[in-house]
Structure 1
Amino acid sequence: GEAGNDVIRGNEGADNLNGGADNDTIDGDAGADVITDASGNNIIRGGTENDLITGGTGRDRVEGGDGDDTISTGAADDAIFGGLGNDSLDGGDGNDTIWGEAGDDTLLGGAGNDRLTGHDGNDSMDGGAGNDFLLGIAGNDTLLGGAGDDRLNAGIGNDLLNGGDGNDALLGGSGTDVFIGGAGRDRADYYYESSRGVRVTLDGIANDGVSKSEKDNVMPDVENLFGGGGPDVFVGNNERNFFKGGGGNDSLVGGNGDDILEGGAGNDTLDGGAGNDFLYPGTGSDSMIGGAGTDTAAYSERTENLNLSLDGAANDGAAGENDLIGSDVENIYGGKGNDVITGSAGPNRLLGGPGNDTITGGLGADTIFGEAGDDDIRALDGVIDVIDGGAGTDVVSKDANDVVSNVP
């Protein structure tokens, strides 16, 4: 073809077809064809046999058909379907959609925000630069996110997930999977294992997953773990970990970094370990262990009226909740209701949050923020406290040397 919108069809032999410029429709039919199109938004079908197809600068739809096909497209947003056979599919630049379909396929997204789906077979996928979505579905697949914030979903089979650069989400499935985070802050997400619960230790040993027989391996360069609805056990490392338990009675152990542990629904145990940790209990009777470092029990998303104290007794949370804030937790962040917050003998940081709160500082050199609402702040302890009433009409009982602001 030349300039113009051409319709070109090959024959049963090995054809050399060139669409030229403009929007062409090319069908190679039978035979091992070489198909090239320079520009335009084209529809190209390889047909049977092993075809070599090169798209142009426009938005192309390329279907390999039967055979082991090699397909590459240009810088626009292209759609590539490998069909049957072991295909090599390269989307080039642009936001491409690539389906390997049947066979052991190689999918390359290139630059752009691409969507790669392997489907059947043992596939190799590389998203390249950009924020990509890679889906293995079935087979023993290798998924590489590349640069960008990628989402990798392995599906069924024994899969290797490598996020590459960026903040990536790695979702395994049934089978023995390996999770590699790469640069950035990455997470292994077991959300879809909703009922069985998982055990994951960020130690690079193949003992993770739903059961001992699954033998997933979540590598230490994965910083964050998300659980599902079952009873999950997460154990951290020296990095700054973020663990989200979800539903179920979870045990989240942070390790030596400055960690964020979020229990979710269920009766959870949140153990910060060493480091300055934030512990977010959800609904249920939760136990919070601070460990070494300066740790915070954070109820900032809760809307009920809460009673929170640093006395090490199981009397915290909403009425009847019976949370236990351990005595090795130093700080409390209240919720959005009218909370009663009581400190300890050590130096505490106590935040009331929105609502009309009653905050008692204890015997240490405390920092107290009433925040929004009409708060009652009590800091008569004989040491120098720092008090900020925040918005609202607050009542403050204080010592003469306390540092006070935003109080009428």
Structure 2
Amino acid sequence: MLSKAPTAPVTVNLLNDGQTLFSSEDPRFNADENTVTFDSTNWDQPITITLSVNEDYQEQEAQPVQNPPLQPHTLTGIQGKLIIEGGVPQGKARALSVAVMLPSETDTELPVKNIEVSEVLQTDVLNVFNDGSQENDSGVLSDTSLTGLGMGEGIEYKDLEVVELFLGQGDDNVVVTDTAADVITVVHGGGGSDTLSVTGSDADGVLILFGDTGQNGFAYNATSDEKTDKAREFNNPGNDIINASGAGGSVTIFGGQGNDAITGSEYGDHIAGGSGNDFIAGLGGDDHIYGDSGFNVDVSTRLDLSTQILTVVNIADAVNDNLETSDPLTVGSDIINAGIGDDIVIADKGVINQLDGVNRILSTSLSDVTEVSNVGFTNGGGDTITGSAGNDILLGGQASDSIYGGNGPEGADIAGDDSDIILGDMGNILIDTGVITLITTSDTNTGDNDVIHGDKGDDIILAGAGGDYVESGSGNDWVLGDFGEVDLRNNAIALKTEQGNNNASGNDEIHLGSGNDSVLGGLVVTPLPPIQAIPMLLPTMASLTTPVLGMTVLYL
């Protein structure tokens, strides 16, 4: 019986290793699950459980598992220090010792078991659940401890391969001060408008930050009726703030639903905004940025044995995703500043393919990329992309986008090289060992009126559909006003318009800057090049190859 009357039914699990059988005629006993349930009417009434030998028992190698009843999934019950060791504590031998017995007692020799457990092959996982909290909690996560979140002294841990924190439904604030080397550290914001900040991390580990949770919502799929080993569902995704500017290595960030503000690190990050009108700043490093795509992760295997942790998602799975907590990936109007570095930015949704065998989360290097393309020909948001310093690849999308190769209209001039590849609408870019080989537009029926500024550097611009406004900026630029391809193979540059191009593709306005520019397409071009200008109606198909130095060739 219980010590006091419960406010709700209490179920007690009876541990059974299979060698004994439980039985009782008391209706409170559940023979199928080996449980006893008390309520406010019978809590003080004893129950008799009869034990008998299970004659059909067969020895099992696995240890029995105690299944406790559902808990509130809050950390407030941890008031003393909780220490968790993933490996063998230093100086703590695990060998069995001979028992201390009375003179009248006897015992057999201890059996010799050959148990081979290699710690370098183990994946020790610490899941910390505070998802049941509806308070606005604050906590600090380091490489060895988690404090705050309503706990007393908090949790201290060591020798783990995965540390994963599940926050609740309030507007939570968690600061990551450090992470451990070779460890995968994951923070889920859960419901509410959360603030996740990073002031330090280990460059040899993996840090993953979710404004809500992964795109498919699997990490938060438990309900009162459907018990799982994951966090409880939430229905209040908020506008999250994620700032990883203080990280010591690359970070993977997914905003999820809501209008999120995301700042990456000074290293090469993977960043996806998800649904909503997001602000994304890549900061430093060679970043891969997706305005409206989603991220899912597989952290079931330790980092040094994992093959593919990160998956980019462009289409939500209405059948298999957890509908309550998944992100439907509804496109928004995002503001993206790629920051310093050779970045790849896809304003809406897209794919950055990498070489076979590359663990995506560990690399943003262009030498590992084979193809860049955007997807989603039926919708898109009106986005603003600023490439900032570096040789960036910038892809707009289906709607009217504003794209700046440099720092934009209000920014200072870029110091150093800043040669960008800019596609106003849908396109595809092929890359071979870090060298761009072919750039093509991918759909003559998709796109809108874009504003494109190449700014400083030798830029390649494919404006695409619609009546686009293009300023090439300084440098030796190549501009294609509508559809076609730019072939950079064979140590040359060749521009070619696509079959079906005509003036109906849009009344483009192209302004050339200083430098030896080459333009194919457009109805208004200023200033007219002083030499070798060939004004004519845009033909159905036209081509232009690398001109002689100092020569500008123009097709209208």
Task: State TM-score, norm by structure 1.
Answer: 0.52
- Alignment map for 1:378-393 (pairs within 5 Å): none
Q: CA deviation at 1:170?
A: 2.3
Tell me if 1:227 matches 2:511: yes
* Contact 1:245 1:252 (8 Å CA) reproduced: no
The alignment partner of 1:70 has SS state of strand
The answer to whether 1:52 aligns with 2:208 is: yes
Gapped regions of structure 2 (runs ≥ 5): 1-129, 145-161, 213-236, 293-330, 349-379, 407-416, 426-446, 499-504, 540-553
Classify the secondary structure of the residue corresponding to 1:44. Answer: strand
Q: Distance in 2 between matches of 1:160 and 1:30?
A: 36
Alpha-carbon distance in 1 for matches of 2:383, 2:249: 27
Partner SS for 1:33: strand
Maintained 8 Å contact 2:243/2:263 = yes
* Residue in structure 2 matched with residue 61 of structure 1 by the alignment: 241
The equivalences for 1:120-269 within 5 A come to 120-128=340-348, 129-155=380-406, 156-164=417-425, 165-190=447-472, 192-193=473-474, 220=497, 224-227=508-511, 237=521, 241-245=522-526, 254-257=535-538
User: Aligned pair 1:106/2:261, yes or no?
Assistant: no
Q: Give the secondary-structure state (helix, strand or coil) at the position aligned to 2:387.
A: strand
Q: CA deviation at 1:11?
A: 2.1
Q: What's the CA shift string for 1:166-190, capped at 9, x where partnerless? A: 2222221333322123333334323
Q: Distance in 2 between matches of 1:231 and 1:51?
A: 44
- Equivalent position of 2:134 in the other structure: 3
1:23 to 171, 175, 183: 171
Question: How far, CA to CA, are the matches of 1:157 and 1:124 in structure 2?
Answer: 13
Q: Is contact 1:205–1:218 with CA below 8 Å preserved after alignment?
A: yes
**Mapped partners of 2:254, 2:477: distance in 1:** 41
Displacement of 1:137 after TM fit? 1.0
User: Can you give the 5+ residue segments of structure 1 that lack an aligned partner in the other structure?
Assistant: 208-214, 259-271, 275-408
Q: Which amino acid aligns with 2:178?
A: A
Per the TM alignment, residue 160 of structure 1 is displaced from its structure 2 partner at its CA by 1.2
Displacement of 1:44 in angstroms is 0.3
Q: CA deviation at 1:127?
A: 0.6
2-side partners of 1:171 and 1:187: how far apart?
A: 8
The 5 A counterparts of 1:385-404 are none
Deviations along 1:143-199, whole A, 9 cap, x unmatched?
A: 111221111111252221111222222221333322123333334323x54xx9989
The corresponding residue for 2:188 is 36
* C-alpha contact (below 8 Å) 2:457/2:476 kept by paired residues: no
Q: Measure the CA separation in 2 of the matches of 1:53 and 1:199.
A: 39
- 2: CA distance, partners of 1:161 / 1:242: 20
Determine helix, strand or coil for the equivalent of 1:183: coil
CA RMSD of aligned residues (A): 3.7
Q: Which amino acid letter does the alignment assign opposite residue 159 of structure 1?
A: D
**Quick check: 1:119 aligned with 2:339?**
yes
State the one-letter code of the partner of 1:77: N
How many angstroms apart in 2 are the aligned matches of 1:197 and 1:176? Answer: 5
Could you tell me whether the CA contact under 8 Å between 1:235 and 1:253 is conserved in 2? Answer: no
Distance 2:453 2:555 in 1: 26
Per the alignment, do residues 182 and 83 of structure 1 end up closer, same or farther by CA in structure 2, a change over 3 Å counting? same
- Indicate conservation of the 8 Å contact 2:519/2:555, yes or no: no
What is the rounded CA distance, in whole Å, between the counterparts of 2:487 and 2:519 in structure 1? 14
Aligned-partner SS, 1:67 = coil
Change (3 A) 1:95 1:250: farther
Query: Could you state the TM-score of these two structures normalised by the residue count of structure 2?
Result: 0.39
Check conservation: 1:230, 1:249, Cα contact below 8 A: no
Question: Conserved in 1, the CA contact under 8 Å of 2:459 and 2:476?
Answer: no
Counterparts of 2:271 and 2:401 in 1: how far apart (Å)? 19
- State how far apart, in whole Å, the 2-side matches of 1:113 and 1:45 are: 24
Higher relative contact order (CA 8 A, sep 6+): 2
* Letter paired with 1:120: I
- Structure 1 vs Structure 2: percent identity of aligned residues? 25
Q: 1:229 to 1:52 in 2, by over 3 A?
A: closer
The change in CA–CA distance for 1:125 and 1:236 in structure 2 (over 3 A counts) is closer
- Superposition pairs for residues 330-349 of structure 1, below 5 Å? none
CA contact (8 A) 1:52 1:69 kept: yes
Compute the displacement of 1:61 (Å).
0.7
Q: Are the equivalent residues in 1 in contact too, given 2:467–2:509 (CA < 8 A)?
A: no
**Against the structure 1 CA distance between its residues 98 and 227, is the aligned structure 2 distance closer, same or farther, given a 3 Å change threshold?**
same
Q: How many residues align?
A: 249
SS at match of 1:119: coil
Match of 2:258 among 76, 85, 101: 76
Deviation (angstroms), 1:68: 1.6
Structure 1 residues 196-205 or 152-161, which shifts more? 196-205
